Structure 1
Amino acid sequence: MTSTVREQTAAVKAMAENYPLITALLGGTTAMRAAGIKHLPQWPNETADAYKARLASATLFPAFGRTCEVLTGKPFSKPITVGKDVPGRIANWCENIDLQGHNLHAFAAAVCFHAISYGLCGILVDFPNAGGIRTKAEEEAAGVRPYFVHIHAQSILGWRAQRINGVQTLTQLRFLETVSEPDGPFGEREIEQVRVLYPGRWEVWREAEKANSAEKEWILHDEGTTTLRKIPFVPVYGRRIGFMQGVPPLVELAHMNVEHWQSKSDQQTILHVARVPILFAKLLGDSPITVGASSAVNADHPDADLRFVEHGGKAIEAGSRELAALEDRMRQVGAELLVIKPGNLTVAQTVSDNEAGMCTLQRIIQDEEDAIDAALQLAAEWVKEPEGGHIQIFNDFGVASLAEASMEILRDMNVDGTFSDESLFNEAKRRGLVSPELTWEDEKKRIALNAPKPGKANIND
Structure 2
Amino acid sequence: MLKIMPNTKNSAIVKMHTQGAIITALLGGTDAMRQAGTTYLPKHPRESQEDYNARKNTAVLFPAFSETLSQMVGRVFFKPIDTHKVSGSLNGFLLNIDLQNNDINIFSSKWFADALAYGSSYVIVDFPTTNGTLADNRHARPYFVHVKNTDVLGFKHEFQNGVPVCTQFRYRQTLTVDDGEFGEKNIEQITVWDLGRVRHYRKDDKGKWQVSAEKSVHGANGKPLNFVPVVDLVLEPQAFFVGKIPLLELAHLNVKHWQMQSDYHNIVHFVSVPLLAHSGSDDLGDSQTVASNNLLQLGADGKLSYVEHSGAAIGAAVTALEELKDEMATAGAKLLTRTKLALTDSQARDEQGKEISKLRVYANRLEDALGRALDFAAQWQGETDGGTVEISGNIDADFDPSASFADVLKMQAAGVLSGETVFEEAQARSIISPQREWQDEKARLELQGSLNMDFGQPESESS
| TM-score (norm. length: structure 1) | 0.78
Count matched residues.
392
The Cα shift of 1:48 comes to 2.0
Moved more, 191-200 or 259-268: 191-200
Q: Deviations over 1:263-311 (max 9, x none)?
A: 10000000001111112232385656889xx97667664x643322111
> For the residues of structure 2 that align with 1:356 and 1:5, how far apart are their CA atoms?
47
Q: How does 1:135-174 map to 2 (within 5 A)?
A: 135=135, 139-140=138-139, 144-174=140-170
Counterpart amino acid of residue 72 in structure 2 = L
| Consecutive unaligned residues in structure 1, runs of 5 or more | 211-215, 410-452, 456-461
Counterpart amino acid of residue 109 in structure 1 = S
- Cα distance, 1:275–1:371 mapped onto 2, change above 3 Å: same
- Cα distance, 1:380–1:355 mapped onto 2, change above 3 Å: farther
Native 8 Å contact 1:355 1:363 kept in 2: no
1:264 counterpart SS class: helix
The Cα shift of 1:252 comes to 1.4
- Cα distance, 1:271–1:350 mapped onto 2, change above 3 Å: farther
- Cα distance, 1:300–1:78 mapped onto 2, change above 3 Å: same
> For the residues of structure 2 that align with 1:145 and 1:358, how far apart are their CA atoms?
38
The Cα shift of 1:329 comes to 0.5
Structure 1 partner of 2:41: 40
Check if 1:86 corresponds to 2:77: no
Counterpart amino acid of residue 123 in structure 1 = V
> For the residues of structure 2 that align with 1:149 and 1:382, how far apart are their CA atoms?
15
Q: Deviations over 1:351-401 (max 9, x none)?
A: 9414983211111110110000111111111112342111111155236xx
Counterpart amino acid of residue 312 in structure 1 = S
> For the residues of structure 2 that align with 1:134 and 1:112, how far apart are their CA atoms?
31
- Cα distance, 1:350–1:168 mapped onto 2, change above 3 Å: closer
Structure 1 partner of 2:391: 393
- Cα distance, 1:218–1:54 mapped onto 2, change above 3 Å: same
1:220 counterpart SS class: strand
Structure 2 partner of 1:180: 176
2:246 to 211, 226, 249: 249
Counterpart amino acid of residue 181 in structure 2 = P
- Cα distance, 1:225–1:266 mapped onto 2, change above 3 Å: same
Counterpart amino acid of residue 317 in structure 2 = G
The Cα shift of 1:117 comes to 0.5
Structure 2 partner of 1:368: 366
Counterpart amino acid of residue 226 in structure 1 = V
- Cα distance, 1:356–1:118 mapped onto 2, change above 3 Å: farther
The Cα shift of 1:206 comes to 2.3
The Cα shift of 1:32 comes to 0.9
Check if 1:258 corresponds to 2:255: yes
Native 8 Å contact 2:79 2:393 kept in 1: no
Structure 1 partner of 2:120: 120
Counterpart amino acid of residue 270 in structure 1 = I
1:276 counterpart SS class: coil
2:100 counterpart SS class: coil
Native 8 Å contact 2:78 2:393 kept in 1: no
> For the residues of structure 1 that align with 2:394 and 2:315, how far apart are their CA atoms?
42
The Cα shift of 1:53 comes to 1.4
Structure 1 partner of 2:434: none
Structure 2 partner of 1:206: 202
The Cα shift of 1:233 comes to 0.6
Larger Rg: 2
Moved more, 32-41 or 62-71: 32-41
Moved more, 172-181 or 102-111: 172-181
Check if 1:335 corresponds to 2:333: yes
Counterpart amino acid of residue 54 in structure 2 = A
> For the residues of structure 1 that align with 2:348 and 2:31, how far apart are their CA atoms?
41
Q: How does 1:68-79 map to 2 (within 5 A)?
A: 68-79=69-80
The Cα shift of 1:222 comes to 1.9
> For the residues of structure 1 that align with 2:37 and 2:228, how far apart are their CA atoms?
41
Structure 2 partner of 1:16: 17
Native 8 Å contact 2:375 2:385 kept in 1: yes
Structure 2 partner of 1:223: 214
- Cα distance, 1:130–1:289 mapped onto 2, change above 3 Å: farther
Q: Deviations over 1:102-122 (max 9, x none)?
A: 110011111111111011101
Moved more, 235-244 or 104-113: 235-244
Structure 2 partner of 1:213: none
Structure 2 partner of 1:433: none
1:397 counterpart SS class: coil
Counterpart amino acid of residue 330 in structure 1 = M
> For the residues of structure 2 that align with 1:168 and 1:328, how far apart are their CA atoms?
42
> For the residues of structure 2 that align with 1:88 and 1:289, how far apart are their CA atoms?
93
Structure 2 partner of 1:97: 97
Native 8 Å contact 1:123 1:235 kept in 2: yes
> For the residues of structure 2 that align with 1:350 and 1:280, how far apart are their CA atoms?
73
> For the residues of structure 1 that align with 2:204 and 2:320, how far apart are their CA atoms?
53
Structure 2 partner of 1:416: none
- Cα distance, 1:132–1:379 mapped onto 2, change above 3 Å: closer
1:139 counterpart SS class: coil
The Cα shift of 1:204 comes to 1.6
- Cα distance, 1:255–1:100 mapped onto 2, change above 3 Å: same
Q: How does 1:374-389 map to 2 (within 5 A)?
A: 374-389=372-387
Q: CA RMSD in A?
A: 3.1
Q: Deviations over 1:184-217 (max 9, x none)?
A: 111222221221111221112223355xxxxx43
Query: How much identity, in percent, do the aligned residues show?
Result: 35
